[in-house]
Amino acid sequence: RALELIDMERHSGAHPRIGAVDVIPFVPLGTTRIEECVDLARRFGEQIAQRFELPVYLYGEAALRPERRRLANVRRGQYEGLREAISSDPARAPDYGPARLHPKGGAVAVGARKPLIAFNINLRTDDLPTAIKIANIIRESSGGMPAVQAMGVLLENPARNG
């Protein structure tokens, strides 16, 4: 349904994204093993690539390339950057599907990963550099806390605008 209703050529936003259905994670719950999720992610990715003519990038434990384990690496350049690179840069070719973005839906990342909790913190400031600095300090990839992902973005606040 998202491929019908969302047009990535008209979409914009602060959060990194590569497609209308940006990411589909398979997460082990209960006694399910991560290996089962890897198998499901890879089979599902191949099926949706064929069914919807959608480029699919495998990430996390399902990644076929080590540089694609991190979702942030798959999303590098976002939709606009991927639109330019998908057909010309072999490193940006999808794991499944066409080497071109879907006309409206873009691309999708399909993966297997452990559970995570997204925790958003709203700061009482419009100072974006401060938010980015805080994110850089606390996220694991910058040497911060283990398993923490963080980014600073400026959000619209309807309460302040009305």
- Choose the most confident range, by mean pLDDT, from 61-70, 109-118, 147-156: 61-70
Burial class (CB in 10 A: 0-12, 13-18, 19+), 156: exposed
11 is catalytic: no
Structure confidence at residue 149 (pLDDT): 81
Other Cβ atoms less than 10 A from the Cβ of 49: the count is 20
Q: pTM for the full model?
A: 0.82
Catalytic residue among 11, 14, 15, 114: 15
Residue 122 in 3-state DSSP? coil
Closest by CA to 22, choosing from 73, 68, 51, 57, is 57
pLDDT per position as a tens digit, 11-65? 887 778 999 999 999 999 999 999 999 999 999 999 999 999 999 999 999 999 9
Other Cβ atoms less than 10 A from the Cβ of 153: the count is 13
Strand partners for 110: 24, 58
Handedness of CA 56, 62, 67, 70 (dihedral sign): positive
3 membership: H or E segment, kind and range:
helix 2-5
Structure confidence at residue 162 (pLDDT): 40
